[in-house]
Chains A and B, each alone.
Chain A
Amino acid sequence: MPEQKTNAEADFSTTVDADGGMTVLISGWLTIHSAAALLTKIPGAIEKEGFPQPIRLDLTDVTRADDYGVFVTRELKTLAALHGSDLQVINMPDVVESVFALYGHISPHEAPYTPPALNPAAIITDIGGAAVLGMRKIDATVSFIGMVVFAAGHALLHPGSFRLSDTIELIKRGGVDAIPVVGLISLITGLIMAFVASVELSKYGGNIYIPSLIAFGMVLEIGPMLTAVVIAGRTGSAYAAEIGTMQISEEVDALSSMGFDPILFLTVPRLAAMLIAMPILTVLCVVFAILGGLIVSVTMLHVMPAAYIQGVMDALFIDDITWGLAKSGIFAILIAMIGCLRGFQVRGGAASVGNAATSAVVSCIFMIILADSIVAIIRIYWG
């Protein structure tokens, strides 16, 4: 701001004195506005004279000062002392002297600097520390699972303690509101699958196998997985951020102090909501993907709609549908539990909430893929 500049400017001039010393005459405002400029220019001017003895800092013409000004004189004093000369502040006007009287004795707290020691033993303690930390994390996760199982059991035995209205709201937010995005993504996936499959299959006149490919692949693998990944990003992170924010604003503690079990109050409804919403979303996902395949097959690949639907029907067995829905249930449990756990682990401030949301999504997706492969192996030996 130009107006400020004219008011707040400071200037200085130097003169060499008869006794071999030098005088630095500062005029104007010795304040926050001029501190940086003075601190960059005056040391150079003093150095040019070769740090004579003594250096006098004449403040006769200073009209205003503040703690930044006091800091400037102190820095200059320290600098002069480093080069073996003594800096004296002279001719302080009353306005400046009162400021110096106030702030002159205040100095920043200086912690003794200790260089980080290069201790070979530190590597061992670091490894040990990381191991202990890892164990604690496992411990926390296992006890969280235990608490959720206990709270869910409690809710089953005492249905009155189950928060039904919260659960319905959560189903709306995590399930119903997710229908557009899940539907759109799966529709597009169906289009792509049909299109990519036809590239190879059409060579052998095999376009008629596209419906069975899409139906089988979506029901058993892609449907549950795709839905789970979308919901992990959408709802898992939301659970972590929501509970994390409650955690830092002491709302979770408030629940405990009123005698509510935070797990029963927050996690069980979310778990129930996910368990209800996920299989339904998965079914929708499969239906939309089959629809997407139908659009491409009928419009571009010359497959009759009736033949397409017959192909889908032939490919689906109740067994596969059961496996697919069971998987979506497992994913639902993973997403709800991981989202809530990351939320409860939040400590500190806003950044921690962000970390929890990120960590929830990453952990959810990792665990979904891991669980999917475990289920695939189990299915092979199931018979």
Chain B
Amino acid sequence: MTNRENIIEVKNITAQFGDDVVLNNINFNIARGEIVVILGESGCGKTTLMRIMTGLSKPAKGQVLINGNDVSCCNTTRKIGVLFQNNALFGSMTLSENIALPIAEYTALDNAAIQKMAGIKLAIVGLAGFEDYLPSAISGGMKKRAALARAMALNPEILFLDEPTAGLDPVSSAEIDELILHINRSAGTTMIVVTHELESVFTITKRVIMLDKITRGKIAEGTPEFLKNECPYPFVRQFFNREPRVRAAAVE
């Protein structure tokens, strides 16, 4: 059961807010240990798709299977870690307490061991020594790393990362990218990344799933290089070449 090839199967997902169709019949599979990037314009439903895949929202139609279990009915939270767009670190807890929270809930380790493991997790993301800091006292890049440490506190099989490098300086972005690759290689963690940063896309992934704002479906899928140079849809090439729509339309 745990060794099936596709750890995540997204089947015919349709999402609606009222009469507004946000996602229309999305299908794809994600293999164990893969890093997949979900791309698309602002407002194309990337975050909605992510929320459905993590079981935080329910789709109007279709289902998401993690290890063959439907996320909307079965308890899969233990197997996934989520890095939220705004980090969602608990503001009233120190970094160490933020990370210790899931460890204390889901393992039988004693308090001293939990503290040490929280310290190790912070050290892995390069935040050793910041255990007693409150989230409000550290920089944006550090918050991202702390949130990543919390997301992977229980060594989940799957990590969902919503805009992990948004709003970070190039150096911090590169560090986060490296960290993502490092975690993927060392632990074999499957990762689903929503991002806008094209440089990150080329660094971290071999497979991009692109959503379209007009048709509300999956418009293209493939390696970033393929989508940039050879994709039949001009819009996808524009996106990857960072061309404004007006100019591209004139060229057509």
Contacts and interface: CB of A to CB of B under 8 A. Distances in A.
B209 interface: no
A76 to B, nearest CB: 12
A36 B117 contact: no
A36 B187 contact: no
Contacts of B131: 108-109, 111
Interface in A35-76: 35-37, 39-40, 66-68, 71, 75
A71 B91 contact: no
B90 interface: yes
B123 interface: yes
Interface string B112-135: 010111111111100011111011
B92 A348 contact: yes
A349 B120 contact: no
Contacts of A351: 91-92
Given A31-B155, A348-B134, A107 B109 contact: no
B78 interface: yes
A111 B110 CA distance: 20
Interface stretch (A98-106, A147-155, A258-266, A314-322): A98-106
B42 interface: no
B57 interface: no
Given A1-B78, A109-B129, A348 B91 contact: yes
A7 interface: yes
A342 B75 CA distance: 41
B154 A32 contact: yes
A212 B140 CA distance: 65
B134 A99 contact: no
Given A3-B1, A350-B92, A109 B128 contact: yes
B116 to A, nearest CB: 5
Contact of A108 (B107, B109, B119, B186): B119
B229 interface: no
B2 A67 contact: no
B168 to A, nearest CB: 18
Contacts of B108: 36-37, 40
Nearest to B153: A32
Interface residues of A, number: 32
Interface string B133-150: 011100000000000000
Contact of B109 (A35, A109, A347, A350): A35
A349 B91 contact: yes
Contacts of B155: 31-32, 66-68
A248 B86 CA distance: 13
A107 B115 CA distance: 12
Contacts of A108: 115-120, 122-123, 128, 131
A7 B134 CA distance: 37
Contact of B186 (A37, A102, A107, A110): A102
Nearest to A74: B116
Contact of A67 (B92, B107, B124, B128): B124
Contacts of A106: 120, 123-124
Nearest to A64: B188
Contact of A348 (B116, B136, B186): B136
Contact of B120 (A98, A103, A248, A348): A103
Nearest to B137: A348
A39 B109 contact: yes
B122 A350 contact: no
Nearest to A3: B1
A68 B91 contact: no
A7 B2 contact: yes
A192 to B, nearest CB: 41
B92 A109 contact: no
23 contacts: A1-B78, A31-B155, A32-B154, A35-B113, A36-B107, A40-B108, A67-B121, A71-B120, A75-B113, A102-B186, A103-B124, A106-B123, A107-B123, A108-B119, A108-B131, A109-B128, A109-B129, A109-B130, A110-B119, A111-B132, A347-B136, A350-B91, A351-B92
